[in-house]
Amino acid sequence: MVSESELQSFDVIVVGAGFGGMYSLYRLRERGLRVRVLEAGTDVGGTWYWNRYPGARCDVESMEYSYSFSEELQQEWEWTERYAAQPEILRYAEHVADRFDLRKDIQFETRVTAAAWDEESSSWLVRTDDGAALRARFVVWATGCLSVPNVPGIDGLDSFAGEVYHTGRWPHEEVNFRGRRVGVIGTGSSAIQAVPMIAEQGAELYVFQRQPNYSVPANNRPLDPEVQQSVKENYTALREENLLQPGGFGSKLQRRAVSVFDESPEEREREFEKRWKMGGFAFLAGYGDLLRDEKANQYAADFVRRKIHEIVDDPELADLLSPHHIIGCRRLCVDTDYYRTFNRPNVHLVDVSTDPIERITPQGVVTGGKEYPLDDIILATGFDAMTGALLRIDIQGRSGVSIQEKWREGPKAYLGMTIAGFPNMFTINGPGSPSVLSNMITAIEQNVDWIDDCITYMREKGYAAVEAESQAETAWADRVKELADGFLYGGCNSWWSGANIEGKPRSFMAYVGFPDYVDRCNEVVEKGYAGFRFE
C-alpha cells in the first residue's frame, strides 16, 4: 500500500493517448500544468494504433483529418493520399509525439481501472492495472468513442481451432490470408474496407452479413502535390470554413440546402451521379432534406441500390447486398471496390439475416444448419461505442456514486464534456458532443481548448472544483434529443444509439450540428460558465 505522501501527484491525469489525449497533453502542458497521460497500448495513436486491419483508412480527407493547432505541423506534414491509410495516420501521430516531445509524459501499457473523487482534497485518486495509484486535481477521459471492441457472444467462439482476429485489435505483424479460408463476420465500415483487400490476397472469403449497409465510393487517389500545396497556402481559410460545416469538415463538398422535391428526376439523377463520382460524404450533401425527410431519403437510397445492381453481376446477390433502411441513419460507409469484390469467384456472401450464426465449431461457422469450414475468423463486429470505455472503469464521483449508476438509463453529460456529480472531470468527444458526427480531430481540438480555458479560469479565480449542475445537464440532454429528433437518426438500429450492444440503453448519443455546439459552448463561457458550480 502506497502512503499518501508517496503518491505521484499531478495537476491533470489524461487517460488515453489517441488524438484526444495527445492534444490534451500538449495544450495543458503548455499552460504549465503537470500532466500525466495513461495509455493501455504501447504507443500513441489510439484508433490508428489498434485498427491495423488491411484497408483501414480515414474517410474524412487527410488534409482535413489532421490537427490544426500548429501551423508548422500542418505545413511540414505531407499526406500521400486523398484519404490516408492507417499506417500513414499512425506515422503522423508518432510524428506529432516526437515533434512535441509528448512521450516523456505518457505512461504506456497502463490501463486505468478506477478513479474516485476525494471530497476532502478536491482531487481524484486514479488506480491502474499495475496496482499503482496517482492523484490529480483534474481527470480528462480521452478514452475514445470507438475503442472497446464488441466481441459477439456467439456459442463456441473460444473453441475455434484457427485464428480469430478483431478489426479493432489487429496484430502488429502482417497477416497474410493467401490460400486460406477466411470468414468475415459483419458488414459495417471496417468489413467494407477489409473485404476487398483480403479478397485480393487470394483468400477464399466468406462474408457473413446480418444487415447490409450503404456504401459510397471513396474515389481515393494519390494526393496531387500541387493540390496539397495550394491547400497549405490557404490552410487557415479552409479550417475556418470547415468550422462552419455541420460536421466541422467538408467545406469542399459543395453542400446544398435544396430539397430533392424541387428538382426534376433528371436533375436529381445528375446530382447523385456527380456526387457518387466525387466520392465520400459529398453523396449526402447534395440536398438539405435527405436526412430529415424519409421520402426525400428514399431517392438517395434508391440511387445507391441501383448502383449496387449495376456493379454486382448476379442480381440475386445484388438484392442481398442492398440495404432497405434509411440511408445515413446508420453511419454511411465509404469504400474502394466493396460491391465489385462480390463478382470475384473467391468471395461468397452468406446471408445470416434470417438464420443467425448458430455457433462456431473448431472447424468453422454454423448457420442455417450448414457448417462453413474456415482457417481464420475476422470479427468486424464493431465497438461498444461512445460509453463503453468509461463504463468499464470504476469511476466514483461525489458520495461514491458510480458512473454506471449515473448512466443506467443512458448517458448524460453537460456540453458532452462534464457530468453532474463528477467534479473536475472532463470527457473528450463524450456523449452529447458532436463527436462521431464530426471530423473528430476538429471536435477534439474544440473540446480540449474549452477544457483548457475552463481550467485556466479556475486557476485565475482560485477555484478548487468545478461541476455541472444537474438541471443544466438535463436541459442539455433534452436539447441533444430534440436536435436528433429533427433528423432521421432514430429510424434504425445503430451503434451510435446503443443498439448493437445487448441491454444498452437506447438514445442517440451525438449532438447534431457542430457550429451550433461550438456557439453554445462559447455562450456558456460568456455567461460566466452558466450551468456550472465552482467551489
Taking the complex as a whole, the smallest distance from the CB of residue 367 to ligand N01 amounts, in Å, to: 9
In the set 25, 28, 40, 413, which binds ligand FAD (CB under 6 A)? 40
Establish if 186 lies at the interface with ligand N01 (CB under 6 A): yes
Q: Where does 179-315 show beta strands of DSSP type E?
A: 181-185, 204-209, 215-217
Distance CA 301, CA 280 (A): 15
In the sheet that holds 370-373, the strands lie side by side as 357-360, 364-367, 370-373
Residue 260 contacts which entry, ligand FAD, ligand N01, none (Cβ below 5-8 A, type-dependent) = none
Stretch that binds ligand FAD, among 13-21, 199-207, 234-242, 363-371 (CB under 6 A): 13-21
Residue 495 contacts which entry, ligand N01, ligand FAD, none (Cβ below 5-8 A, type-dependent) = ligand N01
Establish if 441 lies at the interface with ligand N01 (CB under 6 A): no
Taking the complex as a whole, the smallest distance from the CB of residue 228 to ligand FAD amounts, in Å, to: 18
CA atoms within 13 A on the CB side of 170: 27
Interface size with ligand N01, residues (CB under 6 A):
28
Site for ligand N01 in 380-409 (CB under 6 A): 380-383
C-alpha cell at 282: 459529398
Minimal CA–CA distance to 221: which of 342, 326, 82, 337?
A: 82
Residue 415 contacts which entry, ligand N01, ligand FAD, none (Cβ below 5-8 A, type-dependent) = none
Residue 210 contacts which entry, ligand N01, ligand FAD, none (Cβ below 5-8 A, type-dependent) = ligand N01
In the set 58, 374, 379, 448, which binds ligand FAD (CB under 6 A)? 58
Distance CA 429, CA 210 (A): 29
Establish if 189 lies at the interface with ligand N01 (CB under 6 A): yes
Distance CA 90, CA 221 (A): 19
Q: Which is nearer to ligand N01, 157 or 465 (CB)?
A: 157
Minimal CA–CA distance to 167: which of 84, 60, 55, 92?
A: 55
Q: Which is nearer to ligand N01, 95 or 331 (CB)?
A: 331
Stretch that binds ligand N01, among 157-165, 187-195, 235-243, 341-349 (CB under 6 A): 187-195
Draw the binding track, 47-66, toward ligand N01 (x: CB under 6 A; -: no contact).
-----------xx-------
Draw the binding track, 287-326, toward ligand N01 (x: CB under 6 A; -: no contact).
----------------------------------------
Taking the complex as a whole, the smallest distance from the CB of residue 159 to ligand FAD amounts, in Å, to: 28
In the set 185, 285, 437, 451, which binds ligand N01 (CB under 6 A)? 185
Strand 370-373 relative to strand 364-367, pairing: antiparallel
Stretch that binds ligand N01, among 208-216, 299-307, 423-431, 456-464 (CB under 6 A): 208-216
Distance CA 174, CA 176 (A): 6
Site for ligand FAD in 440-459 (CB under 6 A): 440, 444
Establish if 89 lies at the interface with ligand N01 (CB under 6 A): no
Establish if 140 lies at the interface with ligand FAD (CB under 6 A): no
DSSP H or E run through 309: helix 294-311
Three-state SS across 114-158?
Answer: EEEEECCCCEEEEEECCCCEEEEEEEEECCCCCCCECCCCCCCHH
What long-range pairs does 71-74 form, CB within 8 A, spacing at least 24?
A: 71/235, 71/236, 73/99, 74/232, 74/235
In the set 25, 29, 39, 487, which binds ligand FAD (CB under 6 A)? 39
Distance CA 405, CA 196 (A): 43
In sequence order, the β-bridge partners of residue 418 are 414
In the set 49, 287, 495, 529, which binds ligand N01 (CB under 6 A)? 495
Distance CA 236, CA 459 (A): 31
Three-state SS across 346-374?
Answer: CEEEEECCCCCEEEECCCEEEECCEEEEC
Residue 46 contacts which entry, ligand N01, ligand FAD, none (Cβ below 5-8 A, type-dependent) = ligand FAD
Minimal CA–CA distance to 126: which of 216, 21, 9?
A: 9
Establish if 215 lies at the interface with ligand N01 (CB under 6 A): no
Establish if 210 lies at the interface with ligand N01 (CB under 6 A): yes
Minimal CA–CA distance to 348: which of 217, 203, 211, 161?
A: 203
Q: Which amino acid is at 440?
A: M
* Contact footprint for ligand FAD (CB under 6 A): 15-21, 38-41, 46-47, 49, 51, 56, 58-60, 65, 111-112, 142-147, 190, 389, 393, 428-429, 439-440, 444
Q: Which residues bind ligand N01 (CB under 6 A)?
A: 58-59, 146, 152, 154, 167, 185-191, 193, 208, 210-211, 331, 334, 352, 357, 380-383, 436, 495, 500
